[in-house]
DNA sequence: GAATACTCTATTAAACCGATAGGAATTAAA
DNA sequence: TTTAATTCCTATCGGTTTAATAGAGTATTC
């Protein structure tokens, strides 16, 4: 299941991407427009800023804005920041690899074999999509 | 993340599938061979029996066994039983569809658009694999 | 009838998730 | 210079899920 954090984060990003101008948009506006709990959204936008997707401006007239072009923001990176590993098991994760406790030999493991395929096919989807692709015309 | 339930279930199924004879295999043997908590595995095998993948025999010499050929067992069905929906959001699920509370229009939703693609690509992987494909030669 | 092994229900501990609270820091405008 | 608006940060909470365990119950074989 996709966490609400990721879901809300993606929605907020696309909302920002669909703005005609790159000017600060307030949390409250995004929350209202996307039906998201404002306080929860706060924490999400904060991590998106700390991880380099958003810029922010404090104080009156402040808000959040994209600091890259939507076409340059790959979904792989967004998902990894918000949701964590793309792989469904750590033993097939590219960025968060961990060996299984059980499982003496990965190459003979059915789960490993299957989840490798899943990882690759999901990864391809994410790699083929930027934020720009998600904005509906 | 894949739950341990699904992981263990898949391992148990492939272990049973790799048996030369379709004779009952005891829970304890599977648990030992795959490094799984026996009690936990018990409940998993029980649901696999109730959902038509396994047969069982009680008493001495009893155990669990496959009741279909490994080549006939699609991963889609196994995953749905053990893990639940394949889709990452209910609004793109084929078998467990639910509308989102937020989100006035699915067709304009970025998350929906993306997760549709993910669902399709994952589904293709599961559809192209049977239990037989997961057994290492 | 005794041993074996599946069946079922209940409980637990830990982890995670979504949401909330409250105040500190910063900025713009009056 | 004061006030209002807004992000920033930390802490916490209730609920749910997960993985595992315990133990009694039931069926079968030898």
B8 and B44 Cβ atoms separated by less than 8 Å = yes
Nearest CA in chain B to A76: B114
Contacts of A21 (CB under 8 A, 6+ apart): none
The separation, in Å, between residue A84 CA and nucleotide C14 C1' comes to: 20
Residue A62 three-state SS: coil
Per-residue pLDDT tens over the stretch A79-109? 999 999 999 999 999 999 999 988 999 999 9
- Quick one: pLDDT at residue A136? 72
With beta carbons under 8 A apart, name residues in chain A contacting B35. 101-103
Contact at CB, B113 and A134, closer than 8 angstroms: yes
Cα A121 to Cα B120: distance, rounded to the nearest angstrom = 10
Closest nucleotide to B50's CA, by C1' atom? C7
**Tens digit of each residue's pLDDT (9 = 90 or more) over B52-109:** 999 999 999 999 999 999 999 999 999 999 999 999 999 999 999 999 988 999 999 9
The size of chain B, in residues, is 137
Please answer whether residues B83 and B122 qualify as being in contact, where contact means their C-beta atoms are separated by less than 8 angstroms: no
Residue percentage of chain A with pLDDT more than 90: 96
pLDDT of residue B42: 97
Q: Where are the alpha helices (DSSP H) in A18-109?
A: 27-34, 38-50, 75-82
pLDDT digits (tens, 9 = 90+) for A15-43: 999 999 899 999 999 999 999 999 999 99
User: B130: which strand partners?
Assistant: B74
Identify the band that residue B137 occupies on the pLDDT scale cut at 50, 70 and 90: low
Measured between beta carbons, the chain A residues lying within 8 angstroms of B125 are 114, 117-118, 121
Say which residue the tokens 């098991």 belong to: A89
CB–CB contact A2 B36 (8 Å): no
pLDDT at A129: 97
Establish whether the CB of A37 is closer than 7 Å to any nucleic acid atom in strand C: yes
Tokens for B116?
């549709």
pTM of the model: 0.94
Residue A137: the pLDDT is 64
């Amino acid at each position: 299941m996709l966490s609400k954090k990721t879901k809300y984060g993606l929605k907020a990003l696309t909302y920002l991407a669909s703005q005609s101008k790159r000017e600060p948009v307030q949390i409250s506006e995004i929350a209202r427009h996307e039906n998201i709990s404002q306080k929860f959204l706060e924490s999400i936008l904060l991590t998106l800023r700390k991880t380099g997707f958003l810029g922010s401006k404090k104080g009156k007239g402040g808000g959040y804005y994209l600091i890259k072009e939507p076409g340059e923001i790959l979904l792989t990176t967004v998902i990894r920041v918000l949701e964590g590993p793309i792989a469904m098991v750590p033993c097939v994760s590219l960025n968060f690899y961990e060996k299984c406790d059980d499982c003496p030999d990965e190459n003979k493991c059915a789960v490993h074999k299957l989840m490798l395929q899943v990882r690759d096919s999901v990864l391809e989807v994410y790699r083929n999509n930027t934020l720009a692709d998600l904005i509906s015309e």
